[in-house]
């Protein structure tokens, strides 16, 4: 359900870079930010998916562009951020959303070292590379905000995926401390099981019931729940919030 209390042009004139923006949460984040006036740059290793998502937004009258980018590639990320800053004068919002997910949520011994390294390259080094590359372009801009996407798996730590998302929580605190002098807030969101179309296609009924049974709120998590968390964290209403990880799990991840 749309939030009619939020100004439609809340991010008018702002520039947002969303990694993993071609589909899933990234695409939804881009839609929400562009609907509130931001120019959105959707970056994805799948350039065709990013281009399609940006074209959909443009067809609705939004301002959006797409770039192909592997967040684990320092040179590619640097070129993307440089291009955004040169074209738009700077960067206001960075959403570190790109990541490797379900297929890597398995024991270390099953994955092997090559896949473990790839998870760390994308889920951990990707956040570091993008954040450091964006810092100068965001420095001193009113309301500048970085949002990292962690996971409820960070509170369970049963696999390299969970460990990588725990690292994202730690990076959020570290970068919040480092970037505060430049007026940049850094926060994270840890989504629980969100019933997107892809999740419904992959998840068995038994597994879905198990997760719902461990939640305090016994309804299915929706993509919009995570989008609303993002919109709050990048808004002026969260201007005194930094270094935090907001859990959007229906009470699933309540460990301290």
CATH of the domain at 211: 3.40.50.720
Residue 88 has pLDDT above 80, yes or no: yes
Tokens of 172: 């959020």
- Give the H or E element holding residue 247: strand 245-248
Write down the pLDDT at residue 211: 82
Closest CA to 42 of 60, 27, 56: 27
This prediction has a pTM of 0.93
Sorted by sequence, the CB contacts under 8 Å of residue 155 that are 6+ apart come out as 162, 166, 190, 247, 253, 255
- With respect to residue 197, please indicate whether it lies within any of the assigned structural domains: yes
Query: Active site residue: 29, 155, 161, 175, which one?
Result: 161
- d(CA 55, CA 103) in angstroms, rounded, equals 29
pLDDT confidence band for 235 (50 / 70 / 90): very high
- With respect to residue 99, please indicate whether it lies within any of the assigned structural domains: yes
Instruction: Tell me whether residue 104 is one of the annotated catalytic residues.
Output: no
Residue 6 has pLDDT above 60, yes or no: no
- With respect to residue 8, please indicate whether it lies within any of the assigned structural domains: no
- With respect to residue 182, please indicate whether it lies within any of the assigned structural domains: yes
Q: List the alpha helices (DSSP H) in the chain.
A: 24-35, 47-59, 74-88, 108-111, 113-119, 126-138, 160-179, 197-202, 205-214, 223-233
Task: Give how many domains the chain has, as a whole number.
Answer: 1
Residue 120 has pLDDT above 60, yes or no: yes
- With respect to residue 2, please indicate whether it lies within any of the assigned structural domains: no
Arithmetic mean of pLDDT over the chain? 93
What φ, ψ does residue 97 adopt, rounded to 5°? -105, -25
Write down the pLDDT at residue 132: 98
Neighbours of 79 (CB within 10 A): 14
Mean per-residue pLDDT for 188-198?
89
**Host domain of residue 196:** 15-246
- With respect to residue 120, please indicate whether it lies within any of the assigned structural domains: yes
- With respect to residue 252, please indicate whether it lies within any of the assigned structural domains: no
Residue 7 has pLDDT above 90, yes or no: no
DSSP state of 96: E
pLDDT confidence band for 3 (50 / 70 / 90): very low
Sorted by sequence, the CB contacts under 8 Å of residue 141 that are 6+ apart come out as 90, 91, 92, 183
Residue 227 has pLDDT above 70, yes or no: yes
Can you give the C-alpha Rg of the chain in angstroms? Answer: 17
What φ, ψ does residue 23 adopt, rounded to 5°? -160, 175
- d(CA 190, CA 168) in angstroms, rounded, equals 10
- With respect to residue 9, please indicate whether it lies within any of the assigned structural domains: no
Write down the pLDDT at residue 250: 94
Tokens of 11: 């991010």
pLDDT digits (tens, 9 = 90+) for 162-188: 999 999 999 999 999 999 999 999 999
């Amino acid at each position: 359900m749309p939030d009619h209390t939020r100004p439609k042009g809340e991010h008018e004139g702002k520039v947002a870079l969303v990694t993993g923006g071609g589909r899933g949460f990234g695409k939804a984040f881009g839609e929400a930010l562009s609907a509130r006036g931001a120019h959105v740059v959707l970056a994805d290793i799948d350039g065709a998916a990013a281009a399609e998502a940006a074209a959909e937004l443009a067809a609705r009258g939004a301002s959006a562009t797409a770039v192909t980018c592997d967040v684990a590639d320092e040179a590619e990320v640097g070129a993307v951020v440089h291009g955004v800053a040169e074209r738009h004068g700077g960067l206001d919002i960075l959403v570190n959303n790109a990541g490797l997910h379900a297929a890597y949520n398995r024991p270390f011994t099953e994955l092997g070292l090559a896949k473990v390294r790839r998870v760390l390259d994308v889920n951990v080094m990707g956040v570091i590379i993008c954040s450091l590359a964006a810092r100068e372009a965001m420095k001193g801009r009113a309301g500048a905000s970085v949002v990292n996407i962690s996971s409820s798996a960070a509170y369970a730590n049963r696999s390299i995926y969970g460990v990588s998302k725990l690292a994202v929580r730690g990076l959020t605190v570290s970068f919040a401390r480092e970037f505060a002098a430049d007026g940049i807030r850094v926060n994270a969101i840890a989504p629980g099981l969100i019933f997107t179309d892809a999740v419904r296609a992959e998840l068995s009924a038994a597994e879905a019931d198990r997760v719902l049974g461990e939640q305090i709120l016994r309804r299915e998590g929706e993509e919009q729940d995570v989008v609303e968390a993002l919109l709050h964290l990048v808004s002026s209403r969260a201007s005194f919030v930094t270094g935090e990880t907001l859990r959007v799990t229906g009470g699933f991840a309540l460990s301290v």
